[in-house]
Structure 1
């Protein structure tokens, strides 16, 4: 039986997990007709230099008359993966049993816009993502959460380090997690997954890179946590419901 200090931690990626697309590809749709994003900007994306990509993309949108409000309104319309809104609402209704964090290589402004649009911001205790702000000239900026030397994650944010940091911070407040359920899809979700223990669960999305990377692990390097693939958020919700 859980106590006030004995909880389950649900951890979600954002792109292609909570939302059913990449936020960068979604925002590109805002480019005015006839103004394709230059290839040199896309090159930053191909090199996984995502914050540089976003900074140049945001400048390009600004130069073409797209405002920060246009961008955030458009992010508010991004489609959630089927069942994920229900999963977050379930967590919010059972906040005495669950804590919830989002750890993402997107940025806080985009994530908050979608959470508010779906009325699920109350379900999320912590967001770890890249920073963002709007300057005095009405131009949106993003920059890295931190720099690190992780060989799995992108240079802008290490999900494994941040998950470990949050668990330690909560422990200092007297909150102990009996189980972590990590839900993701990408290569950088392997890093936090490798740090989980035998009582935890990793849920890789079917058809995406994380499940491929898990299947490639050698027997001596396989994950300690249980691996439960998912396709729709209703499957994630079913796992969370089964933990109560």
Structure 2
């Protein structure tokens, strides 16, 4: 994994574009929750635990998984190592290189239903943590016994989203906060990069000048295609599917050339 060189903290002056990233299967090429199971003896969950999952309550399920891993003697170092070894999605490091070289224009944020320990561990290992102004995800930390304790991010009333996180609520609150800080609309355009069904809800808040980047042939992409055919009026943003981070770079270069 090659990190962008000479990374610096985000430029203090106002940036024109906001780039929002999902984490699992977007920045990284698999689910971090699945990847850490490789630290288990046997590298898989027992059926009783897998079958205990309830739709819309994934955070609650992962709390049980992490407790089970601790009971099986999986150490912090083993979890740390499993997370560090996850591969980035194709071309994502090149995308980070591009955004780092134009950091005066782009503000970067993560909105993910993973957890803070996994995300910060991976971003630090990849050398890109300092590119991100903010990470919105579920709290997670190790207790004195060595168990990774996961908590829900927030509560909300959105019927489309899992009980612990509505990404649209997070996005709208962030934009409102940044608008207040900047004394006006802070971003000319917003870009949302994701892959999953839970990336649809925040994308619905995007404007006609904004762009949703769904990973091609993943749930977000398939659902957006269905919306285009049946409910086109509800989705305002441009849709640019991606296979590699290079596809996103190409799109951003065209937008930058419009200056």
The answer for unaligned runs of 5 or more in structure 2 is: 1-11
Q: CA deviation at 1:46?
A: 5.7
Map 1:17-32 → 2, pairs under 5 A: 17-32=26-41
Off by >4 Å, runs of 4+ in structure 1: none
Determine whether 1:182 maps to 2:182.
Answer: no
SS of match in other structure, 1:189: helix
Compute the displacement of 1:6 (Å). 4.8
Deviation at 1:40, TM superposition (A): 2.9
1:1-244 aligned within 5 A? 4-33=13-42, 36-45=44-53, 47-174=55-182, 176-217=186-227, 218-219=230-231, 221-244=233-256
1:36 shift after superposition: 3.9
Q: Structure 1: how far apart are the matches of 2:136 and 2:48? A: 28
Farther-moved stretch of structure 1 (131-140 vs 233-242)? 233-242
Asked whether the 8 Å contact 1:230–1:236 carries over to 2, the reply is yes
Aligned residues: 241
CA RMSD of aligned residues (A): 1.8
**CA-to-aligned-CA distance 1:16-39 (integer Å, 9 cap, x gap):** 111100111111121113x74122
Q: Which moved more, 1:126-135 or 1:171-180?
A: 171-180
Distance 1:59 1:10 in 2: 34
Is contact 1:84–1:237 with CA below 8 Å preserved after alignment?
Answer: no
- TM-score normalised by the chain length of structure 2: 0.88
Show CA shifts across 1:89-137 (max 9, x none).
3223322111000101000110001101110011111110001011111
For residue 16 of structure 2, give the secondary structure of its aligned residue in structure 1: strand
How far is 1:220 from its partner? 5.0
User: What 5-or-longer segments of structure 1 have no aligned partner?
Assistant: none
Per-residue CA deviation, residues 191-237 of structure 1 (Å, 9 max, x unaligned), is 01111100000011111111111122224544100011111111112
What is the DSSP-based 3-state SS (H/G/I as helix, E as strand, rest coil) of the residue aligned with 1:75? helix
Shift of 1:47: 2.3
1:41-91 CA distances to partner (integer Å, 9 max, x unpaired)?
A: 223446242222211111111111111221122101111001112212322
Query: Which TM-score applies when normalising by structure 1?
Result: 0.93
